[in-house]
Amino acid sequence: MEFNKIFAIIVLIVVFAICVSANNETFVKSYMQEFNELGLPTEFFNTTFNLIKEEQAKKEPNKTKIDYMFRKMKERRDEGLYLVDYKRAIELKINDYKKEGINVTEERRLWQNVSDYLVDDEFEAAKDLLDYIDSSLENKLSEKASLKSFIIAGQSYIIKWRKQILLVLFVVVLIAAVLFKPVQKHYIKEKIRRMEIEERMIQNLMKDTQVRYFKKKEISGTIYNIKMDAYRKRLAEIKSKLPVYKSKLSKEEIPEKEKLGIIKVK
C-alpha cells in the first residue's frame, strides 16, 4: 500500500514536471511568434531556450539558473513590446507636431534609424535614441510655446500702446526724412574728398617711380612697368567715378578744388 502511494506521488511529480516544461516551451514559442510578427529578432529566445534544455537534461539541473533564464526571456519579450509601442508613440508625436508647424525633419530621420537598432537586437541603443527624439520634440514644442507667448504679449502691448507707438514712429520717420539729404550730401562730399586725395597721392607716386627709374636707376624696367600699370589702372577708376559723384551735387555745393601738388603724367 505504501509502495503504491509513493509510486503515485512520483508519477504526479513527473507529470507535473512535463506539464511545466511543456507550458514553458509554449510561452517561449508565443514570445518568438510575437517577435516574428513585429519584425524583431528571435535569436535570443532560441539561444536561451537551448541553454535551458541543456540544463534540464543534466542529472542535477540547477533550478535557480533555469528560472533565471526563463525570467530573462520574459523581460526581453516585455522590453521588445515596450519599444515597439514607444516607437509608434514617437511616430504619432512627430506627425502631430508637424501638423502644428514644427520642423521635425531631423527627428523623423533619427526615428527611421530606430528600426535598424531593433532588428540588430540593440534594444538599449533603440531606447536611448527614442528618448533623445522625444526630448528634442518636447524642446521644440516648448520653444514654439514660448515664441507664441512672446508674440501674444507683443501684440497685446502694441494694441495697448498703439497711439504712442504710432506717434514715435511718425517722429522717427519725420526726423529721417529731414536728415536724409544732408547726410547723403555729407557722405558724397566725403567720398569725393577721399578720392581726390587718393588721386593726388597716386600721381605723386607715379612721379616718384619715374624719378627712381629714369634718373636714379633704382628699379628695373619690369618693376617700373608693373608699378605704372597698377597706378594708371587705379587712376582711371578714380577719374571715371569722380564725375558720377560730383553730378549728384549741385554746382553751388561743389567747392573749387585745390590743384596744387597735382602732377600731370602722360
Q: Are 203 and 235 in contact (CB under 8 A)?
A: yes
Domain borders along the chain are 2-146, 190-253
pLDDT in tens, 92-110: 999 998 888 888 899 999 9
What pTM was estimated for this model as a whole? 0.48
What residues contact residue 175 under an 8 Å CB cut-off, 6+ apart?
none
pLDDT in tens, 189-239: 888 888 889 999 999 999 999 998 898 888 888 888 998 999 999 999 999
Query: Nearest 5°: CA angle at 227, between 221 and 228?
Result: 85
Distances (CA, A) of 175 to 2, 99, 171, 179, 188: 118, 45, 6, 6, 20
pLDDT by residue, tens only, the chain of 266 residues: 454 555 444 434 443 344 444 456 787 888 888 888 888 888 888 898 889 888 888 888 899 998 898 899 899 989 988 998 999 999 999 999 888 888 889 999 999 999 888 988 889 999 999 999 999 988 888 887 766 766 676 777 778 788 888 888 888 888 887 777 788 888 888 888 888 899 999 999 999 999 988 988 888 888 889 989 999 999 999 999 888 888 876 554 544 444 444 444 44
